[in-house]
Chain A
Amino acid sequence: MLSCSLQVAWKTMSKESRMKATINQKLTEMGERERLKELLRAKLTECGWKDQMKAHCKEVIKEKGLEHVTVEDLMVEITPKGRALVPDSVKKELLHRIRAFLAQHAT
């Protein structure tokens, strides 16, 4: 029953999103996603992104008041800035590794 509904879902997906799902599954299965996460975390700490973000968090929290802080609010406030502040060099390195993975496993 479950597999049947999954198959239906699979078929209704567009070709592109199916590809995406497959790649994502592979990334997780091979442990590459964890490795990439770890790499990104290390790089971001190294380049001061984390400190900048924490400073930004402090401002946000002071605005809202200590008691009313939720993870969801923080996410909304912080994610755009987080994306913008990632240095190009870090982006480039991560993209390079992801592309290498894709080239290796998409053939």
Chain B
Amino acid sequence: MHVTTRFTLIEALRNGGGASAWERFYNTYSSVVISFARRQGCDEHAALDVLQETMMVILRKLPDFQYDRERGRFRNWLMTIASNKVREARRRAKVDRLVSLDAPQEGTHPSLADQLSAETESASDNLERDWRSTLLETALRKILEDPRTNSVSITIFRQVALENIEPSEVARLHGMKENNVYQIKNRIMTRLKAIIAELETGAVSEDC
């Protein structure tokens, strides 16, 4: 029988939870930070820089972090750090570009440095929007990559929630009742929201 124990990664890390706690933290939040950096306009290299620098701050600051289970604190802290590091990546891209003026241009997409002259400071709403999109993307990826997730359920969810196909039509396609389609959609939506909530607070469910 599985017993699910909720604990917070943050608490584990603060209490010296060791290598496994750190590994889980990194595995959970590295994709969040990378995705956020990309949404903020970073290319692959800059996004990895943002990840490295964000994780270094967390390494240093986590022991002093005033953690409580209030939903907003951890996510605001992490988002603030990551957005600061994106700004630093932009400054660095400009300087690195000046240093390598004679170097051949790599890639076909505009570099972060190219955007500097036309860029305006991101409004706080853009940061918040990008952060939410990041969490949603991370949660969706977790569900899709979870071997326990039924592939038919995913297909049904995509059809109803993403492609806006009428539930009655989806039910007909899969030979099931319409009510079942709603149940599947709602089940996945509930999981999505739960994962997002975990990401925001640093709480992680673990089977033991």
Q: Do A and B bind each other?
A: no
Interface residues of B (CB under 8 A from A): none
Interface residues of A (CB under 8 A from B): none
